[in-house]
Amino acid sequence: MGIFIVLLYVGILWIDPYRLLKQGEKRDFYVCSALCFVSFSIAFALAMGWEIPSPSPWIVQWVGKLF
């Protein structure tokens, strides 16, 4: 499953951010690449069966500090 995820993201990266770089939109390329990297990291971790901790205690704590 991990190999499928890697191949899928290689295809996505070849189509989407690479097109932005060819058009000279460097800032958009960097933002898109960073978001793709975050998305790839989460998808790969889930495909490998790794447990991802929930951020909800942090969110509850931050909202509690605001109010």
pLDDT tens digits, 41-59: 888 888 888 887 877 888 8
As to burial, measured by CB atoms within 10 angstroms (0-12 exposed, 13-18 middle, 19+ buried), residue 48 is: exposed
Residue 28 CB neighbour total at 10 angstroms: 14
Q: What is the pLDDT of residue 42?
A: 85
Count of domains in the chain?
1
Least reliable range by pLDDT among 9-13, 34-38, 44-48: 9-13
